[in-house]
Amino acid sequence: MRGEEVICPKCGGVIDEKTLKCNNCGTQYTPEEYEELKNEMRLKKWLVGEDVDISLGEILGEFGEEKEQGTSPRAIPTPSSGEVDVDSIVQENIKLKSMVDAYLKEREELEAQVEALKKEIEILKEELAKKVPEDVRALKLKELELKEREIKLEMMEKRLLLSSETKESYEELERIFEEIKKNVSNEKVEELLAKIEDLSKQLMERDRIISELKNELKLKEEEMKKIQEILKYKEEELARREEDLLFREKKLEKELKDIEMARAEIGNLDEIALKRRLEELEEEIKRKEEELRIREKYLRAKERELEAKMKGLVEEEVELAEEEIKAEIKERKVKTGTRRLDDLLYGGIPIGSNVLIYGPPYSKKEVLVYSFIAEGLRKGVPAILILTDKTVDEIREDMKYVLPAYKEYEKLGLVHYIDAYSRSIGDTQEIEGVIYLDSQVDVDGITKAVESIVAKIKEKVKYYRLAFMSLSTVMAYLEPQTFLRFLQPFTTRRKRDGAVSLYLLEKGLHGENEIQMVGYLMDGMIEFKIEAHKTYLTVHGITEVQSRNWIEVTATRSGLTLGSFTLGHIR
């Protein structure tokens, strides 16, 4: 048998007997691996019916059985060819060994990760010993707690791998190998294959448990990363505060030095010189005040001049936009103010639509509404803003980033506010032209206010734009049936008027049934979500769109930018 060729299991090439290297793929084998492959090949030949001049103990040596002393080589009777699925037995043997090796390797990696986590916890403990603010200390403690929970999960996984059930699996594997050696010639292959399959299922169950533990560990790692980001922000804020305090301290020191120098200078002057110095200072102060008055007068004149120019430009822009409004009326679609969203919607939102803007906080969904309002104002289209969670001043502050000349459009009478929020927080400020309501849930007052505004502007314009900011506040305080009795006729009237209306709704505050109830009254929805620190949106209903996949969105205070409709979405 010295001249037998041993086949490489990786590529099928021949392994050189002297160098123990595959002639085809170059894989280097140890003497033990080479003997194991040779015994497997002999066992396979014996099972298919070839006579092998070797002892049974040597053929089955790969399973751990020791050769009997004094056993001489002899020809072993073989089972009849065709009765044994040789490839299945050999492949199952290799597969089970590979799975065992993979589990052992994975266990070593987990032990290394646990040691690394222990070191990180020691570092965190040292940092906690230092004097830090309470909010930073709380975040540090939270991070430490998560680290310790990670180590517990790692140790749980390690104990699972070293449990008695795993040891029993190895013992069961050895026992099955022993039975293969005893029964393979007695045609008990089917029973052995069934046991091998059962052991494979047990190992697969171990793999599933380990996978679940890995998933849980991954979630904990993500939570820890978020806390680390918050901690980093707090540390940066603390550093900025320290720099600011240091700057103020230096400034105060300089002012104190200046005062001391002035005192020393005054102390050295006699009474006459002091009076002369005071007179000079008074003259200089008068001169400076006069210069400031002249400069202030000049700046006010420039400001009035700029306002006049801005007003003229706004009026000119509104006049030039009449053709665009005619085109929108003809096409029955209006622009959203976000160019890529218009492309996605094949031109914009249909006239007469009620659209829900739905998403979590900090997703910048409000910017989409601001851009929608600004787009209409540039064309001279009136806007009605219903406020239930913001004041007029807050809206003005946000709108100036989207539309710098927003105040000029207010002066032209194109912006109409219905403020149901200010009075509920005790704000008694009165702004001309704003309709104030005493309660955020005064739905009758909201309806009457909108109808009064529409009656004034409807004779002059073809359509108007409306933003309800937001529905969540009203839904939180009203019973579902009461809310439905308000919203259903309200949306119907807006559709009848030919208006285009957007309704903000916060994600996470309402149940699924409430969301479906609101969606039933809408013509469609633009939904936002945040995933892996990125923002995405998708369109439901409204009109035909190029894609209904999740599309990545880049948001700033001045507008939104959509990514690719085919490559920039989550599959």
Tens-digit pLDDT profile for residues 210-259: 888 888 888 878 877 777 777 777 778 778 888 888 888 888 888 888 77
Look up residue 364 and give its two tokens: 């910048």
In this model, does residue 159 exceed pLDDT 50? yes
pLDDT attached to residue 490: 93
Report residue 230 CA to chain centroid gap.
15
Q: What is the predicted pLDDT for the residue at 448?
A: 93
- Strands 354-359, 349-350: pairing is unpaired
Residue 306, number of CB atoms within 10 A of its CB = 10
Of the listed ranges 58-72, 151-165, 286-300, 468-482, the one predicted with least confidence: 58-72
Give pLDDT, residue 77.
Answer: 43
pLDDT score at 165? 53
Look at residue 114 and tell me whether its pLDDT is greater than 90: no
Query: 275-279, 341-345, 529-533: which range is least confident on average?
Result: 275-279
Tokens of 478: 């009203």
CA separation, residue 278 to residues 10, 273, 284, 399 (Å): 100, 9, 10, 50
DSSP letter (8 states) at residue 68: P
The pLDDT > 90 percentage for the chain reads: 15
Which residues contact residue 495 at a Cβ distance below 8 angstroms, ignoring those fewer than 6 apart?
Answer: 352, 353, 354, 523
**Rounded mean pLDDT, 184-211:** 70
How confident is residue 184, by pLDDT bands cut at 50, 70 and 90? low
Write the pLDDT tens digit of every residue in 293-333: 777 766 766 555 555 555 555 555 555 566 777 777 788 88
Please provide the average confidence, as pLDDT, over all residues in the chain.
76
Higher pLDDT, 159 or 550: 550
To which H or E segment does residue 500 belong?
strand 500-506
Higher pLDDT, 158 or 381: 381
The residue-averaged pLDDT of 176-205 equals 65
More confident position, 542 or 329: 542
